[in-house]
Structure 1
């Protein structure tokens, strides 16, 4: 039973990290587009009103992707609580550097002192 839960948690972590990476890529691409549109307008010597509707929509798309990123971050934190609820305790299934406050799901973790020390050192 524990192996199945660990396997499921690893799969969830993998999919979550892939989704987070994908939204970051989307945000990067939309931000590039948002920079290209006014540069193209300026470089072609067009009036400021040319393409304004499109630029506004791209800006809205970037803001919306930021909202999606926040929702995924919130889901990530919620899954940290779920991990504890299903008896997996403190485990890190994904790669990357996590902020000290999010590194350990268990309040009583023996590693909390290390995290606090690392946070104070940085």
Structure 2
């Protein structure tokens, strides 16, 4: 039974990681789009009112994507809890836990407390 649970977890993990990556990629692209709209309006010497609706729409898409990211992160947490409930808490999936957030006390390009 434990083997089947582990196989299920190992099948789900890459899908979760891919979804997280896709959402992050979409957020980055939406950011680039909004920046391009603003930069190109300025470069063309156009009034700030030109393209305002498009900027608002791309900003709304960004906000929606950030909300989707919040949900996929919550999904990740829920699956981590489920993994423990199924007796697989000690099993690592992915890159072996060497992600930058594995130890947030280390200043690795992340925000950290300063005096």
Matched residue, 2:52: 52
Larger relative CO (CA 8 A, sep 6+): 1 or 2? 2
Correspondence for 1:79: 79
Normalised by the length of structure 2, the TM-score is: 0.83
Match of 2:38 in 1: 38
Q: Tell whether 2:101 aligns with 1:99.
A: yes
Partner of 2:45, secondary structure, is: coil
The match for 1:6 is: 6
Gaps of 5+ in 2: 108-115
Give the CA deviation at 1:81: 0.6
Q: RMSD of the alignment, in Å?
A: 1.7
Structure 1 stretches of at least 4 aligned residues deviating more than 4 Å after TM superposition: 118-122
Aligned length: 105
Counterpart-to-counterpart distance in 1, 2:104 and 2:35: 35
Per the alignment, in what secondary structure is the counterpart of residue 45 of structure 1?
coil
From the two aligned structures, give the one with the greater helix fraction.
1
Unaligned runs of 5+ in 1: 101-117
3-state secondary structure, aligned to 1:90: coil
